[in-house]
Structure 1
């Protein structure tokens, strides 16, 4: 039995954040990780995928891009490996943990306990129940970066953020890509106008799109993958990549034995302070299903530790002001609510196409837009432009531009403050300033309009 103050299960972004936060607070920490510290983000997610995207943008060959991916993964992994963690005072144990008693787990026959346990076991690729898929040697986001040679053709199942990113990058590396999405549009959880822009761009990159196309079955013939769609079309390709989301790693953890409840999909139920239904146990990251992005997992990991050790002023994870970014080119970024999600009839929307932004014109990158949404601020109404409710941006630097609206939401800033702040010319962020100006008057012939509720 090894006793400590904080026991973290999982070495991904959430687990690392929890462990480092606890250690900086002077607590004794044990981190149990089944795989190498760094988790999915470092080895199969953000780091390799964004490296692949940049390599494709730079015009590298497929082999050159994959070489850069492996080199980058190694470099990043070296900054958070076991030696680094131990040098920071974190006890690292490799193995799979299982709860055997309250705030006590067993790892390879040894029991470890702590005053507080943080569940951060992450997730893995979700594989849809498509007939025949189990008989095929398909790729997932866990295995696609192991490719040494480029396939001549590839079918990507899933038109969400990961599917779109990989489809574009691989197409730019010379692979013939068909992207299949069962929803009527790409990025079904984001702004419909963003979906339209991205669809046009992907087609111009040579990606063949099949939206509104559920898969009926998958089979193999002559060494090729055959994907039969519900309308009878059969898409044939050398390889098949499944990018249809993720599922939580909660099996075999003994959660029932200690009263940690999960939802029907297996996600651990938590409150806004990341506390689970079991005393002394918190959870963070993909295992919760609250917000499936690395930066959110990191924030949740910090909250899970700090909220669990404070009786007053307990921090909470507030997903409304956390941005989401799809790293295609152009990038797609959102924060808060998009227009079709707003129920406030007094809310207003401001819109600016990138074709009216000088920086976009100079870069010959006019596809995209900025949308800001603002609502009345209590008794002050729309004074000062009201309060920012959300934003949707499609632009080459949308992932950077989204942080101004995110900050405005986090701090309760008047929308007009974004317009008052002097922005450098000609920068991409001037588009945010000019859009926000529409909430306090007419700017460039444009004025904020009422949102289309419903």
Structure 2
């Protein structure tokens, strides 16, 4: 048995890398176990390749050149987190599959390792629906779509969440005929309804066929094509099928009960408390395997916190309330905190600014979208200073950058009025945030903040 480690991190994705690096920063003896190259899903099959493909498509690159750009970007970023880079940072890396034998003991392909503490950061994998005939169809997922070397003539995308929407639009802009199938009655069903409407209009202009409020119930291959039947009787025939309906936690083979009783919920996610501790002493979990926010930046924050809590006497809480997220479509859809409908129960008020009234959007001739800023009363001070920011949704060409201002306001419990008072450069995209915040105090362009409604 090999011992002498203060912390074993199981998983080499964003959460695992963050945990290992945080532990090394605390001068701990840390071992990271990964069954693939460090970097995990984000580097090789997630954020890096998908955003590269989106950028390449927006610049009009041919399909083969776009995929070449994807490979180059992945290689560049992977080199900053490979085994050699991590060892230079004081992190020991072992390739293999980990399995708990007992509390504090982990088997990695026949080698038994021991440590006082462990962080489980094994991530998630694509969910595959139990559809009739799907197992006989060579479908794609976000993990395999980047292996394409030539563009299919047509693709059906199952799933209208972030992954499905991003890939559908990128493929359409690369010349692929795309049909998107979503069981909900709108795209991005977790976002503001108005955001869904803006995106649906943009997709229609891009030539994407939308099948909303329907499910795919059967699939077959025929003459090198895929036939797909929807529950409303519609039949589709496409070259390829891309499944993007969600993700599931990866815990296969870990033998979590042997770790001292690590519990999972009904969906298989590892149960953690607000310090990211599992139900087994000394075992923490971080990232997608916990079922919390499924984003790389959230996983990284969780990984750092889990490692710190595992090694330190004073443990900190994980608070995801001010964590923003972005769907990198055109326009981008970004959100932090509560939607308008959710804010009703919190006494929320809403400021709204359409991009058609935002000068920077007009100069860019890119006026799809809006800013929606949600504020709620502060404890004791109530609405003084405009209250506090409790949520924001931005749909715009640069929404992913604009969302960080309200995220910072939430993280620091800032008065909403501070956003209105801060001088913003004109004409910038972020200037719209100042105009929206000012609506809590005065009329701006005929608009004032109003009470939140469930209709949004």
Same fold (TM over 0.5): yes
What's the RMSD between the two structures over aligned residues? 0.9
Residue in structure 2 matched with residue 251 of structure 1 by the alignment = 252
What count of residue pairs does the alignment treat as equivalent?
453
Residue in structure 2 matched with residue 45 of structure 1 by the alignment = 46
Selected match of 1:308 from 286, 310, 323 = 310
In the TM superposition, residue 320 of structure 1 has moved relative to its aligned partner by 1.1
Following TM superposition, the consecutive aligned residue runs of length 4 or more in structure 1 with deviations greater than 2 angstroms are: 308-312, 342-346
Residue in structure 1 matched with residue 298 of structure 2 by the alignment = 296
Describe the superposition over 1:194-230 as per-residue Cα deviations: whole angstroms up to 9, x where unpaired.
0000000011011110110111211111111111001
- For 1:434-449, list aligned pairs within 5 A: 434-449=435-450
Residue in structure 1 matched with residue 101 of structure 2 by the alignment = 100
The answer on whether the counterparts of 1:388 and 1:415 sit within 8 Å (CA) in structure 2 is yes
In the TM superposition, residue 345 of structure 1 has moved relative to its aligned partner by 5.8
Describe the superposition over 1:75-120 as per-residue Cα deviations: whole angstroms up to 9, x where unpaired.
1101100011111111100000000010211001111111110000
| Alignment partners' CA distance in 1, 2:344 and 2:402 | 25
Residue in structure 2 matched with residue 138 of structure 1 by the alignment = 139
Selected match of 1:280 from 276, 282, 286 = 282
- For 1:159-170, list aligned pairs within 5 A: 159-170=160-171
Q: Does 1:213 align with 2:214?
A: yes
| Alignment partners' CA distance in 1, 2:105 and 2:248 | 25
In the TM superposition, residue 439 of structure 1 has moved relative to its aligned partner by 1.0
| Alignment partners' CA distance in 2, 1:352 and 1:343 | 19
- For 1:35-434, list aligned pairs within 5 A: 35-257=36-258, 258-312=260-314, 314-344=315-345, 346-434=347-435
In the TM superposition, residue 444 of structure 1 has moved relative to its aligned partner by 1.9
| Alignment partners' CA distance in 1, 2:285 and 2:252 | 15
Structure 1 portions without partners, runs of 5+: none
The answer on whether the counterparts of 2:340 and 2:348 sit within 8 Å (CA) in structure 1 is no
Structure 2 residue matching 1:195: 3-state secondary structure: helix
Structure 2 portions without partners, runs of 5+: none
The answer on whether the counterparts of 2:344 and 2:453 sit within 8 Å (CA) in structure 1 is no
The answer on whether the counterparts of 1:345 and 1:451 sit within 8 Å (CA) in structure 2 is no
| Alignment partners' CA distance in 2, 1:345 and 1:59 | 45
In the TM superposition, residue 255 of structure 1 has moved relative to its aligned partner by 0.4
| Alignment partners' CA distance in 1, 2:56 and 2:270 | 37
| Alignment partners' CA distance in 2, 1:444 and 1:5 | 59
Structure 2 residue matching 1:342: 3-state secondary structure: helix
TM-score (normalizing by structure 2): 0.98
| Alignment partners' CA distance in 2, 1:346 and 1:413 | 17
The answer on whether the counterparts of 1:156 and 1:163 sit within 8 Å (CA) in structure 2 is yes
